[in-house]
């Protein structure tokens, strides 16, 4: 094991070495024959080995990771940002990283694992029996102010400082970039009310329909919900959907009208709407402005008064619900749990009911909103546990855990989600498949609503077919894979699951358009529909109806909510929600209409498979299933987009679209050879070689379809066409 010098001494020593003797790398320490010529990619066995070492060293300050990012700052290997490790991290281990000409033997690696805040000995969760615990979610339509209100409540209870980062609980990069919540987040607050301290557990939930699985799971760990409604916009489609989710689970509802500071706010009218639609007495609605802080003081007392304490049995054996999980680079799998009955302590040995696997509780604590260890959790409390679980797949969201040899009745768990949209996800190059697979495992741990299956494409190689709850969900998943896990991927056109009826009466579900049978007589093709709800200012009714008609929608209901607002219900094919449906709806109503949908029935439709061909070779990854009437228009658009994006090749390329094998559109791309040496007049041969090598490198990023090279961004562009 490496030496145990104080970190500063080690830092100084290593810095001097690296600076003064840059050649003192593995060149001297390792015989040439042993030196690899390129960055190693770790094998599965390596990773297993690493896991073993992690355990062996977890109590020391040493650490390793298969792909170790060493942040800048005081560190004994300051030049390394990404470093590939050969073998076990120990004295003499070879590492390679950005800025290093060669492999470097490690002399001293100190852990860079951020320390979890500890409240052990300072904060006793036992002082909060269930009567003084409240678990509640904040639910609302998109942008009605959930995260902003959560900020104010965190500030009010001193969990975060005033004037800090806005929407504190929106921690993901994708959330901050898009300004939406995609992941439910938990925070425990201590609040003094009528002379007694209460432990309040707040869960901020997403508003968009594609993430409603997050809402329903969060509600399972709560006994109440703050139903937030924008006092200017009133009840919207997702307000209805979330209200019913909470109502069906029997939660206490605390109605709050937010944004009363806005000039357009009409809190009295909205309170009246709440009465009409939800039967909530107008006088029960709290008025607040999460922006200015108006009315904030009334919220937590209302939660304490209206939300019942968690009903668990304090004396019973431990029974806990795993309702969420995520992967932390340094600590592995972190599970979010609610203690339904009994008591959990660090060091306990627990069993996961669904798999029978046993784990030691290495750490347990609450989110404040950052994790803070408390050493135990009592009945009704919500917090996190770390078990040293090896595989991300072992953390099954909805699972019941109990103590070894103390079996309990399983909790009902969560309804499995039904994927509404499918797409293929492929690594940019085949060599990245293993890395993508690991990244998917980690992300799926944090997003249990995604379904994944291995698949192969002739054009894109080995990859995965993933099921999502909607198109936004698919886009966010793609973005998170890239941003949080560094996996660069190609996503194929989204498709919905179709059911094919063969002439012998049998049915087959297809989730990939390339499976759609060609040249075979079929009895019928069935597509999924949705029951859509739109709440809109009445002046936009005409244009909304036109939009739905164009998207093959059929009206089910037309209700006037108030003289100015109307509710419409339509049934329409799920596939029609793709493309620019949301953008069109937004632009024709200037963003004033709200939209939500529920799964509908399967409906028979006249559908064909639309293929894209390059020099008569089908690109399987670009196949889609479309309505016969739209095949020619969509095919034409795809060919145009392909021509525009692909750039000329060294030979002519014929781009065609075929609907059920019949050509419906065609474009021709003229031959062209880009002469990268055009501007190199005479002279330097090494510069010419460099340019040619760069060109060769660029070609690697292309996908070969038959004899045609397709750049990866073409796939992205065609998905949107
Ligand atoms: N004027 C005013 N603006 C507010 C108030 N509360 C929130 N906002 C603004 O409304 C916008 C949306 O707020 P968020 O807190 O992100 O809304 P959200 O409900 O969490 O959004 P999603 O998680 O995407 O559903 C932000 O620009 C906030 O600054 C309020 O009381 N008054």
Q: Is 262 in the pocket of ligand 1 (CB under 6 A)?
A: yes
Mean pLDDT in residue range 711-718:
67
Ligand 1 atom closest to Cα of 262? 1
Average pLDDT, the chain: 77
Residue 566 CA to ligand 1 centre (angstroms): 24
Q: Is 178 in the pocket of ligand 1 (CB under 6 A)?
A: no
Q: How confident is the model at residue 349 (pLDDT cuts 50, 70, 90)?
A: very high
Pocket test for ligand 1, best of 165, 290, 476 (most atoms within 8 A of CB): 290
Give the pLDDT score at 90. Answer: 58
Give the pLDDT score at 453. Answer: 84
Q: Is 267 in the pocket of ligand 1 (CB under 6 A)?
A: no
The DSSP code for 516 is S
Mean pLDDT in residue range 37-45:
41
Q: Is the pLDDT of residue 401 over 90?
A: yes
Pocket test for ligand 1, best of 141, 143, 218 (most atoms within 8 A of CB): 143
Pocket test for ligand 1, best of 141, 142, 148, 257 (most atoms within 8 A of CB): 148
Ligand 1 atom closest to Cα of 208? 25
Give the pLDDT score at 55. Answer: 29
DSSP SS3 for 481: helix
Give the pLDDT score at 455. Answer: 82
Ligand 1 atom closest to Cα of 204? 20
Residue 258 CA to ligand 1 centre (angstroms): 9
Is residue 547 within 8 Å of 588, Cβ to Cβ?
A: yes
Which of 467-471, 508-512, 518-522, 634-638 has maximum average pLDDT?
634-638
Give the pLDDT score at 86. Answer: 47
Which of 43-57, 94-108, 132-146 has maximum average pLDDT?
132-146
Task: State what percent of residues in the chain have pLDDT above 70.
Answer: 76
CA 622, distance to chain mean position in Å, is 24
Known binding-site residue numbers: 140-147, 204-208, 258-261
CA 674, distance to chain mean position in Å, is 40
Give the pLDDT score at 714. Answer: 72
Nearest CA residue ID for atom 7, ligand 1: 145
Mean pLDDT in residue range 302-317:
93
Q: Is 289 in the pocket of ligand 1 (CB under 6 A)?
A: yes
Q: Is the pLDDT of residue 465 over 60?
A: yes
Give the pLDDT score at 716. Answer: 63
Q: Is 447 in the pocket of ligand 1 (CB under 6 A)?
A: no
Ligand 1 atom closest to Cα of 150? 15
Q: Is 291 in the pocket of ligand 1 (CB under 6 A)?
A: yes
Q: 25's torsion region: left (phi>0), alpha (psi -120 to 50) or beta?
A: beta
Q: Is 174 in the pocket of ligand 1 (CB under 6 A)?
A: no
Residue 141 CA to ligand 1 centre (angstroms): 10
Rounded Cα distance between 242 and 183, Å, is: 15
Task: At 312, give phi and psi (nearest 5°).
Answer: -65, 170
Angle, helices 541-550/581-588, rounded to nearest 10 degrees: 160
Rounded Cα distance between 607 and 109, Å, is: 60
Known binding-site residue numbers for GTP: 140-147, 204-208, 258-261
Q: What is the ipTM of this complex?
A: 0.98
User: Is pLDDT larger for residue 583 or for residue 441?
Assistant: 441
The DSSP code for 70 is -
Residue 457 CA to ligand 1 centre (angstroms): 43
Is residue 569 within 8 Å of 532, Cβ to Cβ?
A: yes
């Amino acid at each position: 094991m490496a030496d145990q010098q104080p970190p500063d001494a080690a830092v100084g020593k290593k810095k001097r070495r690296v600076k003064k003797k840059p050649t003192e790398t593995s060149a001297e320490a390792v015989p040439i024959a042993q030196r690899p010529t390129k960055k190693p990619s770790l094998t599965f066995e390596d990773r297993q080995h690493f896991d073993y070492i992690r355990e062996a060293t977890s109590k020391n300050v040493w650490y390793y990771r298969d792909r170790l990012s060493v942040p800048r700052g005081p560190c004994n290997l300051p030049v390394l940002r990404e470093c590939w490790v050969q073998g076990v991290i120990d004295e003499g281990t070879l590492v390679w990283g950005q800025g290093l000409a060669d492999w470097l033997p490690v002399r001293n690696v100190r852990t860079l694992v951020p320390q979890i805040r500890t409240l052990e000995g300072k904060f006793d969760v036992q002082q909060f029996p269930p009567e003084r615990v409240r678990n509640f979610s904040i639910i609302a339509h998109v942008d009605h102010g959930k995260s902003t209100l959560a900020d104010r409540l965190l500030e009010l209870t001193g969990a975060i400082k005033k004037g800090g980062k806005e929407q504190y609980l929106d921690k993901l990069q994708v959330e901050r970039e898009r300004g939406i919540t995609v992941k439910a987040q938990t925070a425990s607050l201590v609040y003094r009310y009528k002379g007694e301290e209460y432990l309040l557990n707040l869960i901020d939930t997403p508003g968009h329909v594609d993430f409603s699985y997050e809402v329903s799971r969060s509600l399972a760990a709560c006994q109440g919900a703050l139903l937030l409604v924008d006092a200017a916009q009133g009840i919207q489609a997702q307000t209805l959907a979330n209200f019913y989710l909470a109502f069906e689970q029997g939660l206490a509802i605390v109605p709050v009208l937010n944004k009363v500071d806005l000039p357009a706010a009409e809190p009295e009218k909205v309170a009246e709407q709440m009465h009409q639609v939800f039967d909530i007495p107008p006088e029960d609605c709290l008025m607040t402005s999460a922006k200015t802080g108006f009315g904030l003081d009334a919220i937590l007392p209302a939660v304490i008064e209206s939300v019942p304490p968690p009903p668990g049995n304090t004396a019973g054996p431990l029974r806990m619900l795993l309702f969420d999980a995520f992967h932390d680079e340094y600590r592995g799998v972190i599970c979010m749990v609610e203690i339904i009955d009994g008591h959990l302590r660090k060091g306990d040995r627990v069993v996961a009911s669904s798999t029978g696997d046993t784990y030691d509780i290495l750490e347990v604590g609450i989110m404040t909103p950052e994790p803070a260890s408390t050493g135990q959790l009592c009945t009704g409390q919500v917090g996190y546990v770390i078990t040293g679980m090896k595989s991300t797949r072992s953390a099954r969201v909805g699972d019941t855990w109990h103590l070894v040899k103390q079996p309990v009745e399983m909790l009902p768990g969560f309804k499995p989600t039904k994927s509404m949209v499918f797409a293929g996800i492929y690594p940019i190059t085949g060599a990245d498949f293993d890395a993508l697979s690991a990244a998917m495992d980690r992300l799926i741990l944090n997003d249990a609503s995604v379904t994944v299956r291995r698949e192969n494409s002739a054009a894109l190689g080995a990859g995965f077919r993933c099921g999502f709850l909607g198109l936004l969900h698919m886009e966010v998943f793609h973005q998170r894979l890239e941003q949080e896990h560094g996996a660069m991927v190609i996503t194929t056109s989204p498709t919905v699951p179709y059911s094919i009826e063969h002439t012998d009466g049998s049915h087959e579900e297809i989730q990939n358009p390339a499976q759609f049978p060609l040249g075979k007589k079929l009895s019928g093709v069935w597509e999924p529909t949705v029951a859509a709800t739109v709440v809109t200012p009445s002046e936009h009714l005409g244009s909304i109806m036109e939009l739905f008609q164009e998207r093959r929608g059929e009206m089910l209901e037309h209700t006037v909510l108030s003289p100015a607002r109307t509710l419409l219900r339509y049934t329409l094919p799920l596939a029609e929600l793709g493309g620019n449906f949301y953008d069109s709806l937004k632009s024709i109503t200037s963003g004033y209409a709200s939209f939500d949908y529920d799964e509908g029935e399967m409906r028979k439709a006249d559908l064909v498979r639309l293929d894209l061909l390059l020099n008569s070779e089908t690109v399987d990854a670009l196949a889609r299933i479309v309505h016969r009437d739209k095949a020619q228009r969509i095919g034409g658009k795809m060919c145009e987009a392909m021509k525009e994006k692909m750039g000329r090749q060294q030979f002519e390329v014929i781009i065609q679209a075929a609907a059920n094998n019949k050509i419906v559109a065609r474009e021709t791309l003229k031959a062209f050879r880009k002469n990268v040496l055009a501007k190199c007049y005479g002279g330097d041969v090494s510069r010419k070689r460099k340019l040619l090598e760069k060109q060769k490198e660029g070609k690697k990023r292309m996908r070969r379809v038959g004899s045609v090279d397709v750049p990866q961004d073409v796939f992205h562009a065609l998905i949107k066409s």
